[in-house]
Amino acid sequence: MQFRLEKRREPSQFMLYATPVAAVALTMIVGAIIFSLIGYDGVGAVREIFLTPLTNAYKWQDLGVKAAPLIIIGVGLSIAYRANVWNIGAEGQYVIGGLAGTGIALLTYGMTGWWILPLMVLAGMLGGMAYAAIPALLRTRLNVNEILTSLMLTYASVQLIYYLIRAPWKDPMGMGFPQTRLFSEAARLPFIIPGTIVHLGVPIAVVVGLVAWFIMTRSVFGYRMRVVGAAPHAARYGGFSEHKTIWLALLVSGALAGLAGVLEVAGPFQRMVPGFPTNYGFTAIIVAFLGRLNPLGVIVAGVVLAITFVGGEVAQTTIGLPNAATGIFQAMMLFFLLAGDILIKYRVRRVVPQPSQGAA
């Protein structure tokens, strides 16, 4: 029995949305097998990573808090990737956003006022935007590949944190620890559900996703991004400048990564620490793809990836699975998703061997 691929006349809408679900399911099955083979409790690992965070209501607050930055960054990346602009330095833009917010928090240290948080958010978004503007400028002016520049800037941004918290921004009362002081009350993100760790960033993430979905489906901006990505030649005929699209894609994704950064530093962290870069910017790449570069899909995908993070921590304590296993599950999800992409444009047909017609 043989199979062959046959091109579909139209890309399959069913497969477009079925493959991410299948990718998650396959990851669970194959993950369980692989982890069993290398000597862990594979079924237990999958149960703890994918199910415990959902069945244990106590973990839901963690899900929201972890999903928020992933969704916010993922939405920005989904917009950029739609336009075929490969910003993979969201982690760096997230860091600069967090640092910009920290700067405002330290400047206004000890002050009170409702304006402090909005100012921090503005600074964070501008910071992320400015950092993403560097790859945009280099790409549009000098045709330098944005993949490499945005990534190199990420490595540099981490060093900037280390420098700032070691020297000029160091907590004078920190007993030598490289970190800033704890932000004052007015610079901390309020909790929206009393008694939990759910902060204002969580509803903001949902709003960002919804607004982005509306803009991407209903506005000229969204149309531009989709057309430039899907049919660059047609877009040029239609009068959409490629350079302007690159700028928009990077600035929007940078601003959102910066927003996620400032919300993280003002929310869960409440100060700048060396451990601030938590790879949300890289994981959000998986979120964007798993969400099919659709802001509504990104919200769902953000929650799925948050489940693996929270579940990974659970599995670490309950069955002693190393934390790194989470990254493997996440990468597997992306592998299966990318492998499944072929089913959108092609269908698998079984080739029935023809009985040989006469003697040759």
CA distance 124 to 60: 27
Residue 285 touches other proteins, criterion: CB under 8 A: yes
Binding string, residues 22-51; x marks residues near other proteins by CB under 8 A? ------------------------------
Nearer to other proteins, 190 or 322 (CB): 322
Helix axes 13-37, 280-290, angle to 10 degrees: 130
Minimum CB distance to other proteins smaller for 61 or for 326: 326
CB of 305 to other proteins, least distance (A): 11
Residue whose CB is less far from other proteins, 168 or 194:
168
Q: Does 108 bind other proteins (CB under 8 A)?
A: no
Q: Taking a C-beta distance cutoff of 8 angstroms, is the pair 80, 139 a contact?
A: no
**Is residue 86 part of the contact set for other proteins (CB under 8 A)?**
yes
In sequence order, what are the residues at sequence separation of 6 or more whose Cβ sits closer than 8 angstroms to the Cβ of residue 302? 67, 68, 70, 71, 74, 205, 209, 284, 287, 291
Residue 98 CB, shortest distance to other proteins, in Å, is 16
CB of 47 to other proteins, least distance (A): 18
Instruction: Say how far apart CA 278 and CA 258 lie, in whole Å.
Output: 14
The CA distance from 165 to 153, in Å, is 19
**Contact status: 71 vs other proteins (CB under 8 A):** no
Identified binder of other proteins from the candidate list 192, 207, 230, 342, rule CB under 8 A: 342
C-alpha gyration radius of the chain: 23
Q: Tell me if 21 contacts other proteins by CB under 8 A.
A: no
Distance of CA 4 to CAs 237, 340, 350, Å? Answer: 37, 15, 6
Report the length, in residues, of the chain.
360
Contact 265, 272 (CB under 8 A): yes
Residue choice 169, 269, 282, 309 for contact with other proteins (CB under 8 A):
282
- In angstroms, rounded to a whole number, what is the distance separating the alpha carbons of residues 306 and 53? 9
Q: Which of 234, 49, 251 is CA-nearest to residue 139?
A: 251
349 binds other proteins (CB under 8 A): no
Shortest Å distance, C-beta 201 to other proteins:
24
Task: Tell me whether residue 295 is exposed, middle or buried, using C-beta atoms within 10 angstroms of its C-beta: 0 to 12, 13 to 18, 19 or more.
Answer: buried
Is residue 241 a contact point for other proteins (CB under 8 A)?
A: no
**Contact flag: residue 96 with other proteins (CB under 8 A):** no
Interface with other proteins in residues 123-152 (CB under 8 A)? 134, 138, 142-145, 147-149, 151-152
Q: Which of residues 159-218 bind other proteins (CB under 8 A)?
A: 159-160, 162-163, 166-167
Residue 219 backbone class (left: φ over 0; alpha: ψ -120 to 50; beta: rest): beta
Nearer to other proteins, 143 or 357 (CB): 143
Nearer to other proteins, 112 or 159 (CB): 159
Q: How far apart are CA 285 and CA 262, in angstroms?
A: 19
Please tell me whether residue 56 binds other proteins under the rule CB under 8 A.
no
Q: Which residues bind other proteins (CB under 8 A)?
A: 86, 88, 134, 138, 142-145, 147-149, 151-153, 155-156, 159-160, 162-163, 166-167, 282, 285-286, 289, 322-328, 330-332, 334-335, 338-339, 341-342
